[in-house]
Every structure is written in structure tokens, then in C-alpha cells.
Amino acid sequence: MSEDALLWAVGQIAGGPQSRFVLLILAGCADEQGRADVTCAKIAELTEMREAQVRAALRQLRGRGLLERDRIDRPEGGCYRLTMTAADAALLSPFDETREAS
């Protein structure tokens, strides 16, 4: 699990609660490079959503530029890359109390 990915995901506008939940699950599964090797079926199990809802959330996240398919080399798919950069990961947490209010 990448703490940087989770902090990055919390600060993103995902487009709705289901997309946010899927983004947070992906961030929780991500490695230090932002890659999450998790299937749609597993995301559906973890979120208690239907696979169709998960696929719709994944499309929305890709459309918002928050997620890319990293590779498609297995029938069930499941490798995604969060589009966070090193600079994004270095930003303060939105919960950091030292952050100035805007």
C-alpha cells in the first residue's frame, strides 16, 4: 500500500461517491509507482458495488485523467496506474494542520 497514493486520492475530485470509493480502493492497492494490480471483480467485492458500477466508475476516473490502464495482458484485466506524479505525492495531506487555509 502506498500512503502517498492514498493522500493523493483523498485530494482529488473523482466525480461522485462511487468513483471516489473506487479511487480510494485503487490507491490502497497501489504500489509506490501508483500501479494497482486489482481486478474489477475484486474492486466490486471490496466496495460491495456491482461490477457494472465499478466499470462505470473506472471509466469516469479515466475520463477525469486520474487513472490509466497500465497493461491488458490477462483476460480479467486489472492493472491500473494512478496518474499522480512525484510532485503530487510530495504535496501536504489535505488533513495536515500546518497547511494554510485558503
Q: What is the CATH number of the domain that holds 74?
A: 1.10.10.10
In a domain, 95, yes or no: no
Question: Cβ distance 98 to 92 under 8 Å?
Answer: yes
The whole-number mean pLDDT for each consecutive block of 10 residues of the chain, a chain of 102 residues, reads: 85 95 95 90 96 97 93 69 72 51 41
Total structural domains within the chain: 1
In a domain, 96, yes or no: no
In a domain, 58, yes or no: yes
> How many C-beta neighbours within 10 Å does residue 63 have?
11
Q: HSE-up of 63 (CA within 13 Å, CB side)?
A: 9
| pLDDT for residue 47 | 97
Q: HSE-up of 9 (CA within 13 Å, CB side)?
A: 25
The reply to whether the predicted model has a pTM over 0.85 is no
Question: Cβ distance 28 to 1 under 8 Å?
Answer: yes
Domain that holds residue 11: 3-89
